[in-house]
Amino acid sequence: MTSFQYTTTKPGETVEQLLREQWQGGKKTVHQMRMDKSVTDTNGQPIEWKEPLPQGTPLTFSFSDAHSSYKPEAFDSLRIVWEDEHLLAVHKPAGMAVHPEQAPGTGTLMNEVMGYIESQGGSYAEHIHRLDQHTAGILLIAKHPIAKTMLDRMLEQNKIDRFYTAEVEGQLRKPRGTINMPIGKDRYHATRRRVSPSGQAATTHFRVIERRANSTVVEAQLETGRTHQIRVHFAHLGHPVIGDQLYGSETIARGPYKLTATKIAFQHPITLEQIMIETE
């Protein structure tokens, strides 16, 4: 059973207002919750959806049919960097895929996350964004369907700030800037992307944080989240990420290419707290 607790913050608030107006939960999920009478009080009694509730009323929201399909696996090496009952942030190692290409694949980050979630009595975990297989760093995960719907919408509206650290070849002339170039598929290579006038809009902000003899370390902030966006943008400028041979790096790196998702910031969709999650 997947569930979470919530205490009303406004006098006269109703369950319907919370789910449909304030949180804008998915129509299918909200309808199912109403049919299942899955919003209850502290005694487990169903709450009437249109009943005005006193401020400070504790509620339990349950999702009896919320089950993710990832096969649970041992999570001894799973590195959790932040968690509450709605969200989970984990550190993805470089070289590990976020999710299986097809069910019931194994050996991915989401398999380990599902093992952890089940050990805590849960049954649901879905990632909000992706990281390329050889990109390390923070991955944000929803622990119930309402959080997933809200965070998906926030991502589409650019309300989740994602920061990366990359070491690129050569010396960038500008100390900071914005790369605003559309990205599309490369017709000559199945997995590669390229800057293309017919591609999807893509914007990357960057600032230089260190200059080295033959490279530059930058912090990059995504405004959009296209496949391989940072890698494509800097390669197009003639400064591919070190070790990223798919995009023309001539430097052989020790281990994976030099790109890490180091920070994510957003307003929590349910508690409304300002959240900043960082990792090395």
In a domain, 270, yes or no: no
In a domain, 129, yes or no: yes
In a domain, 68, yes or no: no
Q: Are 148 and 126 in contact (CB under 8 A)?
A: yes
Q: How many domains does the chain have?
A: 3
Query: Residue 200 half-sphere exposure, CB side, CA atoms within 13 Å?
Result: 10
**Distance, CA of 24 to CA of 157 (rounded, Å):** 14
Residues 152 and 202 in one domain: no
Structure tokens at 2: 């997947």
**Distance, CA of 140 to CA of 131 (rounded, Å):** 10
Residues 131 and 171 in one domain: no
In a domain, 268, yes or no: no
Quick one: pLDDT at residue 101? 85
Quick one: pLDDT at residue 253? 64
CATH number of 252's domain: 3.30.2350.10
Quick one: pLDDT at residue 251? 81
Residues 142 and 185 in one domain: no
The pLDDT tens digits along the chain (280 residues) read: 789 999 999 999 999 999 999 999 988 889 999 999 999 999 999 999 999 999 999 999 999 889 999 999 999 999 999 999 999 999 999 999 999 987 778 999 999 999 999 999 999 999 999 999 999 999 999 999 999 999 999 999 999 999 999 999 999 999 999 999 999 999 999 999 999 999 999 999 999 999 999 999 999 999 999 999 999 999 999 999 999 999 999 887 667 899 999 999 999 999 999 999 998 6
Q: Which amino acid is at 38?
A: S
Alpha helices in the chain (DSSP H): 15-16, 27-36, 109-119, 145-156, 229-236
**Distance, CA of 201 to CA of 240 (rounded, Å):** 20
Domain limit, last residue, from 157, 184, 199: 157
**Distance, CA of 248 to CA of 261 (rounded, Å):** 21
Residues 87 and 125 in one domain: yes
In a domain, 69, yes or no: no
Structural domain containing residue 106: 79-157
Residues 238 and 255 in one domain: yes
Quick one: pLDDT at residue 250? 86
Domain limit, last residue, from 116, 132, 157: 157
In a domain, 127, yes or no: yes
Residues 145 and 175 in one domain: no
Residues 125 and 166 in one domain: no
Q: Are 117 and 127 in contact (CB under 8 A)?
A: no
Residues 167 and 254 in one domain: yes
Q: Cis omega (within 30 of 0) on the bond before 46?
A: no
CATH number of 45's domain: 3.10.290
Residues 109 and 45 in one domain: no
**Distance, CA of 271 to CA of 3 (rounded, Å):** 16
Residues 54 and 109 in one domain: no
Answer yes or no: 161 catalytic.
no
Q: Which of 36, 65, 84, 132 is catalytic?
A: 132
In a domain, 93, yes or no: yes
In a domain, 241, yes or no: yes
Domain limit, last residue, from 32, 63, 94: 63
Q: If we measure between CA atoms, which residue out of 52, 101, 111 comes closest to residue 76?
A: 111
Residues 175 and 252 in one domain: yes
Regarding pTM above 0.75, the answer is: yes
DSSP state of 104: T
Quick one: pLDDT at residue 280? 67
Residues 149 and 174 in one domain: no
